[in-house]
Amino acid sequence: MAAADQLDQGRAVVETAAIRPPADRRRTVSLFSRLRTAQGQANPFPVYAELRSRGEVAAAPWGGYLLTGFDVCDRVLRSRDWLEPDSRWREQQGSGTRWTAPSSREMSRTLPALNPPEHTWVRRAAGMFDRSSLDQLRGPVARFTGRSLDTLAERLHDGEADFNALVSEELPVAVIGHWLGLPTADHARLRELTHDQVFTQELLPSASQLALSDAATAELRTYFTDLVRERRARPGDDPVSRWLAVWDTLESDRDKADEAVYFLALFVLLAALETTATLLSTMTLLLLDHPRQWQRLVLQPDLVPAAVEESLRYDPPTHVISRVSARDCVLGGVDIRKDEMVHLLVGAAHRDPARHPDPELFNLHRKPGHLAFSGGAHYCLGAPLARMEAQTLLHQLVTRFPRLTLVRRPTWAPRVAFRRLLNLDVTLV
Ligand code: HEM
């Protein structure tokens, strides 16, 4: 049985009884339960600090290891000795586990779940955002941002408004929908499906969350295979048509080429929506929570890129990245066997005092350095676009709404790996 399923069903304790004292294991299980409470979601960092106090590499109660140190996480991401949990690894975990759920099997065929050599050529074929394609998106991103801020302004006229719903959730789907050429009428449904699909990528999904993810994955498969079929029949000037043209040069079997493009289009949508929405809301929340930094940005908008980077460090959209060991090894003084999993607690690593002095301080003048977009071979291909969206939004925000303020504390969905704000209620003072 997979590690996550064990914890899910409250049986993690049995497997690891020989390794760690029961009180210690119970404390770790209860720490993770705290992460799912409203308070734990609002501020998971004390939990991370407690985990770090047990060493930068600590055994997880459900098997595998938790990594909280910045350097050790960075090393794992950059090393060839650590692999993605790919389809071979997932099958090995046995049937009936989260890793063999239909949604997990589907994810195992997407780019971030591939290992070399396949990963290398699929990534190369994906291309994604070079300077000229980014330049082409600059105008639309500014326009969509302006439009969502117009709606915000209208609502603020009457009092308060939910920034998360009106801006953060709208902008990423408008941008990626425009880029992929998806009908506007489909955007809301695709966004809902993404919220459900992401559960299969969570740290410890429950059976009901996996069922939601399986259903969303099936609907997304239909949507994107239809899209690929349409673009095959009527190619246009869009990424899906371009990927088809590239794959036709690499793969003589048309069905295989179509399937490769389907997996790419599916993953791009999944990768682009929640993560970017979370960044937009978190960044705004952090700045409203730090009025002096906000005022500084109002007077000095050239600090906008630094504010985006510090937000990505302070509370990144993705708090956990997982890898498995390619061979028996020693990491941070701990013996790890081939195929064992490590969870890189990126949110914790970003607050590692060995990397960042005064890590709890939200500081726009910090030396850069974060793992929000991962690192090494799987470094996020959408990072330039996510940065462009966040910087464009922040520029327009401080210019148009210098008196923006928070009405009440927001709430978060009870996740561990993928942060998600449920609201961000703001007004003007
Ligand atoms: C703030 C927004 C974003 C964050 C925090 C983020 C984060 C990440 C992370 C952590 C990974 C690596 C996972 C791993 O190492 O296993 C990743 C991979 C990836 N992301 Fe992003 N992402 C964001 C936005 C986007 C956008 C907008 C796109 C596309 C338009 C995108 C496309 C991808 C792709 C294709 C990969 C797979 C790369 C590979 O495995 O080689 N991401 N992202």
**Residues 314, 289: contact at Cβ < 8 Å?**
no
Give the N- to C-terminal CA distance of the chain in Å, as an integer.
54
**Residue segments in the chain with a per-residue pLDDT below the cut of 70:** 1-23
Q: Is 173 a pocket residue for ligand 1 (Cβ < 6 Å)?
A: no
Q: How far is the CA of 332 from the centre of ligand 1 (A)?
A: 27
Residue 7 to residue 44: CA distance in whole angstroms: 19
Using alpha carbons, list the distances in angstroms from residue 255 to 48, 120, 232.
Answer: 46, 21, 11
The CA distances from residue 227 to 22, 219, 232, 294, in Å, are 52, 12, 9, 42
Q: What is the pLDDT of residue 23?
A: 62
114 lines ligand 1 (CB under 6 A): no
* pLDDT score at 25: 72
State the Cα–Cα distance between residues 270 and 191, nearest whole angstrom: 9
CA 128 / ligand 1 centre spacing (Å): 11
CA 97 – CA 90 distance, rounded (Å): 9
pLDDT for the residue 212: 96
* Gap from CA of 271 to ligand 1 centroid (Å): 5
Q: Is 279 in the pocket of ligand 1 (CB under 6 A)?
A: yes
| Atom 42 of ligand 1, nearest CA residue | 382
Domains along the sequence of the chain with CATH: 1-99+325-356 (3.30.43.20), 101-318+372-429 (1.10.630.10)
The residue nearest atom 9 of ligand 1, judged by CA position, is: 373
Identify the pLDDT of residue 34: 87
